[in-house]
Amino acid sequence: MAKNTTTVLDLRQERSNPPFSINDMTEFYDGGSEATKKRKLISSLILNNPAFKWLERHYWTRDEAYSSNVQCLAEVAKILRKHKLNVDDFMHYYWLVSTIGEIVSFEMHLTTWKSALQDQGTPEQRKKWLPLVENFEIVATYCQTELGHGTFIRGFETTATYDPKTREFILNTPTLTATKWWIGEVAKTATHALVMAQLWTQNKCYGPHLFILQVRSLEDHTPLPGITLGEMGDKFGYNSIDDGFMQLSNVRIPRDQMLMRHSKVTLDGSFIPPKNPRLTYVAITLYRCQLLMLCSNYLARASTIAVRYSAIRRQTETKPGYEPKVLDYVTQQNKLFPHIAGAYALACTGHYMIDFGKRATERIKLEDLSVLAEFHGISSGLKAFCTEMSVSGIEECRRACGGHGYSSACGIGHIYNNWLASCTYEGENTVMYLQSAKYLLRCVKNPKSAPLGVSAVLHNPPCKHWDIKNMQDLEKTNTVLEAYRARAYKKVAIADKYLRELQSGGDTSYDAWNKSGIKLVDCAKAFTHYFVIKTFFNMIEKSRLGQSCHLQLHRLSILLALHGIDQNTGDFMLDNFIDFEQIKLIRVKILELFSEIRPVAVCLVDAFDIPDQTLLSVLGRYDGDVYNKLFEWAKEAPLNKTQVRYLLVVVIDCVFVYLA
């Protein structure tokens, strides 16, 4: 059997003479040289550790997947101790360098739990509980969602009732639908949980608050009395995680296990409200900014796989004896190049928002809450827009791999299976858009200067007609961006006007809001799209990259922006802002950009710097040796352990199956 080695040459050819420094590009993608250094350090600690044997996962049962995850948790604990790493830093890069679906079992422990405690715990609570978590003396999780209640937190049914006689809270899940559900690691792993429950004291309900609850014995790991724990069954992805349920029946905890930094319950049961109820949003808002980095990371992985494989896969003879690489087809470039650009854009948005979040947190600590509403409003829209952009891009990359894209050897399906959850978890996306729209409409009414730039969009009417006359004009980021601003401005105005008309026409505020739903989602999408494009342009502009890298990124950013217009022409044509001639120009420009990006496409995805060990893709291998390795991969399949498995035998009028 002749071996196929031309694929290796194919990729070598693509990399033969990159017109820019791939290393510089990697540092830009990572958010600076320091970030690249840290990422590589964490990467080496993880990938050289035999516990992280993700390559074997393809044929794991649920139990094997879960077991591997527990081993990884223990290894992470060891690594953190041995190398005395900062936990937040570690987790940030651990997410980026590890494999999706196998990473989450300590997300609750090391991030959600920790940040909730830091945010909402008193100094005493932080002092007591944070070291226990950081030293892995307990395993912690976070219990919010209920069987019958998700994004609408006020609807939760779990209760925590204060008993002043014993100075305890009594926790209950009084109905079936109150059962805590979708709780990461609660089924088998966690010993402690932060439980969100309706606070009752002095016969009055004060809404959802957080309580620390030990759920399992530290001696033998059995659930404590009154606590029922279980696993919730298979999911579309993340099957190495023991998401579970929890039911509580009159479980008592001491008063000091309610997080009391903001709201307080005194010894006698009096309730002291928080200064600002919005403060509880800070943790989730920061977490949503972290999600943006993952949106980029997983799209980068999918486009790495699809672009490399497309530089190998050949199809359809166009000259006698010559089948072009599929990457040479314009239809393929149209599928893939916007997602290369998208991965860079999402990284820029992520870096910008994480940085903004850090600054916002500092201001919030000083009790300056002026930025909180904007930060929350915009990050809600970003959570929805960027997860959808990432997930749909990942699937388009998978389809661009043709038939082999459906094989697990491709690796994109695994990313998709897991990352798809991001569209419905941490706030369902339609609800996220509506929250964002609510903020935007509030800004229309009350103009004020906001650091993320909302007012600039909403309070200066756009010009009547787009100022694009020729191909050169399409290079100007400000002019291109103005199209997005005009669209956002108009979509917000349309939603606002429609809502007000319904209300003045006599609709209740609920009915008016409901009937405006489609327009509200639309306006949040348009604003967020503007925000992503603007951030991408700005981050390129303010980077100190050399000209050759800058040129590539400029092309990618213009491509992403023009492609976005081309995909939504109807919106941009509103009030004839853009005309047919301009749309034609855009389409010519896009083809020009494709031909400029084509020679560097493989180098652009190489710059994402995702090692084969975590890319987990036969099609996307760095060396391009796809067909030999596909064959080797197939031979490893468990069904190949025996040659003959069944024998179908026909005996006169009946068919028998024999186990061979």
Distance between CA atoms of residues 145 and 136, nearest Å: 25
Q: Which of residues 274-293 bind a second copy (CB under 8 A)?
A: none
Q: Could you say whether residue 210 binds a second copy (CB under 8 A)?
A: no
Shortest spacing between CB 373 and a second copy, in angstroms: 20
Which positions from 296 through 315 interact with a second copy, judged by CB under 8 A?
314-315
Q: Are 199 and 258 in contact (CB under 8 A)?
A: yes
264, 184 Cβ separation under 8 angstroms: no
State the minimum distance, in angstroms, from the CB of residue 79 to a second copy: 10
Q: Give the integer Cα–Cα distance in Å for 242 and 490.
A: 46
For residue 57, what are the contacts with CB-CB under 8 A and spacing of at least 6? 65, 68, 99, 101, 102, 240
Which residue, chain included where needed, has tokens 């779990």? 158
Identify which of residues 258 and 302 has a Cβ nearer to a second copy in the complex. 302
Under rule CB under 8 A, how many of the chain's residues touch a second copy?
133
Report the C-alpha gap between 217 and 227 in whole angstroms.
11
Q: Could you identify the residue written with the tokens 């026409």?
A: 505
Using CB under 8 A as the binding rule, whether residue 174 contacts a second copy is answered as yes
User: What token pair was written down for 99?
Assistant: 């494999």
In whole angstroms, the minimum distance from the beta carbon of 585 to a second copy comes to 14
Count of CA atoms in the C-beta half-sphere (13 A) of 379: 30
Q: In angstroms, what is the minimal distance from the CB of 327 to a second copy?
A: 12
121 carries a ligand binding annotation? no
Active site residue 426: yes
One of 253, 329, 543, 554 touching a second copy (CB under 8 A): 329
Span 7-46, contacts to a second copy by CB under 8 A: none
Which of these, 50, 7, 58, 27, lies nearest to 417 by C-alpha position? Answer: 58
393 among annotated binding-site residues:
no
For residues 155-185, b (16+ Cβ closer than 10 Å) or e, as one string?
ebbbbbbbeeeeebbbbbbeeeebbbbbbbb
Give whichever of 67 and 270 is closer to a second copy, judged by the CB atom: 67
Q: Is 319 helix (H, G, I), strand (E, B) or coil?
A: strand
| Site string (60-79) toward a second copy, x via CB under 8 A | -xxx--xx--xx-xx--xx-
The residue among 544 and 635 lying less far from a second copy, judged by its C-beta, is: 635
Give yes or no for residue 366 binding a second copy (CB under 8 A): no
What H or E segment, with its residue span, contains residue 245? strand 244-248
DSSP secondary structure code for residue 222 in this structure: P
Using CB under 8 A as the binding rule, whether residue 84 contacts a second copy is answered as no
Q: Does 256 bind a second copy (CB under 8 A)?
A: no
Closest approach of a second copy to the CB of residue 658, in Å:
9
Q: Decide whether 245 or 530 has the Cβ nearer to a second copy.
A: 245
**424 in contact with a second copy (CB under 8 A):** yes
Cβ distance to a second copy smaller for residue 118 or 408? 408
Exactly one of 34, 317, 355, 475 binds a second copy (CB under 8 A); that residue is 317
Give residue 535's Cα distance to chain centre.
18
Beta bridge partners of 656: 649
Nearest approach, Cβ of 135 to a second copy (angstroms)?
7
Question: Which one, 17 or 656, has the nearer CB to a second copy?
Answer: 656
Cα separation, 592 vs 128, in Å, equals 61
When asked if residue 655 is in the footprint of a second copy (CB under 8 A), the reply is yes
250 near a second copy, rule: CB under 8 A: no
Output the 3-class SS for 78-99: HHHHHHCCCHHHHHHHHHHHCC
- CA distances, 625 to each of 8, 131, 239, 322 (Å): 5, 48, 30, 20
638 near a second copy, judged by CB under 8 A: yes
Q: 619 and 626 in contact (C-beta within 8 Å)?
A: yes
HSE (side-chain half, CA atoms, 13 Å) at 258: 29
Spot the catalytic one: 426, 475, 541, 592: 426
Options 33, 318, 449, 548; binder of a second copy; rule CB under 8 A: 318
Cβ-based nearer residue to a second copy, 371 or 578: 578
Based on CB atoms, which residue is closest to a second copy, 1 or 267?
1
Shortest reach from residue 297's CB to a second copy, in Å? 20
Please give the residues from 509 up to 568 whose contact with a second copy meets the rule CB under 8 A.
510, 514-515, 517-518, 521, 568
163 touches a second copy by CB under 8 A? no
Binding mask 586-615 for a second copy (x = CB under 8 A): -x---x------------------------
Q: Rounded to the nearest whole angstrom, what is the least distance from the CB of residue 255 to a second copy in the complex?
A: 26
Does 403 contact a second copy by CB under 8 A?
yes
Of the residues 370, 407, 479, 543, which one makes contact with a second copy according to CB under 8 A: 407
Residues 457-516 close enough to bind a second copy by CB under 8 A:
510, 514-515
Give the nearest distance from C-beta 528 to a second copy in angstroms. 16
* 8 Å CB contact between 354 and 285: no
Contact map string, positions 425 to 464, toward a second copy, x by CB under 8 A: x--xxx---x------------------------------
The answer to whether 53 contacts a second copy (rule: CB under 8 A) is: no
| Number of neighbours of residue 655 by Cβ within 10 angstroms | 8
Do the Cβ atoms of 377 and 287 come closer than 8 Å? no
Question: Which of 279, 412 has the CB closer to a second copy?
Answer: 412
Q: How far apart are CA 32 and CA 43, in angstroms?
A: 16
Long-range contacts of 12-19 (CB under 8 A, 24+ apart): 12/624, 14/311, 14/601, 14/602, 14/603, 15/602, 15/603, 15/606, 18/600, 18/603, 19/548, 19/552, 19/599, 19/600
226 contributes a contact to a second copy by CB under 8 A: no
Q: Are 299 and 349 in contact (CB under 8 A)?
A: no
CB 400 within 8 A of CB 304: no
Active-site annotation, residues: 426
> Which residues are known binding-site members for FAD?
145, 184
> Which residues are known binding-site members?
145, 184
